[in-house]
Amino acid sequence: MTAVREVVAPTWFGDRRRRTLAWVGLSALVVLGVVVAGGPAADAAQTTSLTDRNLGPSAAHWFGTDRLGRDMLARTLAGLRLSLVVGVAAAVVSAGIALTLACLAAVFGGVVDRAVGWLVDLFLALPHLVLLILLAFALGGGTGAVVAAVALTHWPTLTRVLRGRAREVMSSDYVAISRQLGHGRGWIARRHLAGHLAGHFVVGTVLLFPHAILHEAALSFLGLGVDPGEPSIGILLAESMRYLTAGAWWLAVLPGLCLLVVVKLVDTIGSNARALLDPRSHHL
């Protein structure tokens, strides 16, 4: 292929890459908006008004009110903010564990590699939710325990992806040649491995995040998550259960839908970022 290069000015029309980028940006903006809006909503979320109990959605209360007359929109926003914060913390810690293990396995190989592989298989073989519940229980509940429990159970899949990629890099001809030029393990990890893993790492972290949010909600729903006083989405859903039969559908449906939308948006960011980060991707 001839190496003639000419930079073409991209047009907005018919440019899939630009549209993807715009879509990612919009998703990120909405997610960020939820986090920002959740801050001021925290007060309103805890304000009780016994005259406005169990109202359906209306102009004054878009998402209705609960049994204590608290505005559900405010509670949902505050809950999403809490979920997002827990999700980010858990995803980042989890991805950190994955990266460390994958690099150790690839750089040292042999026994270390086998040990990491064994550990990944072990964690993948155990039922996810049971492990999560046991960990959260053992760590004593509360927000910190949820972050720790989610972080400690979500690293295996990403570790597996990163380890595969790292192995591929380490067995390549260019790493063999760098070794032959007298460079040590640290140099190869820094100069070769880091660059090749960065893209996978970023995307993997973003994609871990929706998982982490959903599992946080699940734990809170089961009563092992964040402090019941805090309005996390899981707690909102758990509370709403008792009132569903009384016809208060808005208590469960609207916060649940919001969680779904946020998770979907984050997922969009993650999967599109993968295509954007690859410099030679053909189709985007």
Binding site for another protein (CB under 8 A): 1-8, 10, 17-18, 21, 172-174, 176-184, 191-192, 195-196, 279-284
Task: Say which residue the tokens 């469960």 belong to.
Answer: 252
Distance CA 226, CA 241 (A): 18
User: From the CB of 167, what's the least distance to another protein, in Å?
Assistant: 16
For another protein, which is the closer residue by CB, 67 or 196?
A: 196
Backbone φ, ψ for residue 71 (5° rounding): -70, 125
Instruction: Decide if 53 contacts 69 (C-beta within 8 A).
Output: yes
Q: Which tokens in the block code for residue 239?
A: 């509370």
CA atoms within 13 A on the CB side of 21: 9
User: From the CB of 203, what's the least distance to another protein, in Å?
Assistant: 15
For another protein, which is the closer residue by CB, 132 or 169?
A: 169
Instruction: Decide if 259 contacts 274 (C-beta within 8 A).
Output: no
Instruction: Decide if 60 contacts 174 (C-beta within 8 A).
Output: no
For another protein, which is the closer residue by CB, 11 or 245?
A: 11
User: From the CB of 277, what's the least distance to another protein, in Å?
Assistant: 8
Distance CA 266, CA 254 (A): 19
Letter for the amino acid at 118? W
For another protein, which is the closer residue by CB, 13 or 51?
A: 13
For another protein, which is the closer residue by CB, 51 or 180?
A: 180
Cα 178 to Cα 99, 106, 170, 174, 192: the distances in Å are 22, 15, 10, 6, 9
User: From the CB of 130, what's the least distance to another protein, in Å?
Assistant: 34
Distance CA 233, CA 235 (A): 5
Torsion over CA: 206, 210, 216, 219 (sign): negative
User: From the CB of 163, what's the least distance to another protein, in Å?
Assistant: 19
For another protein, which is the closer residue by CB, 180 or 245?
A: 180
User: From the CB of 88, what's the least distance to another protein, in Å?
Assistant: 25
User: From the CB of 276, what's the least distance to another protein, in Å?
Assistant: 8
For another protein, which is the closer residue by CB, 4 or 125?
A: 4
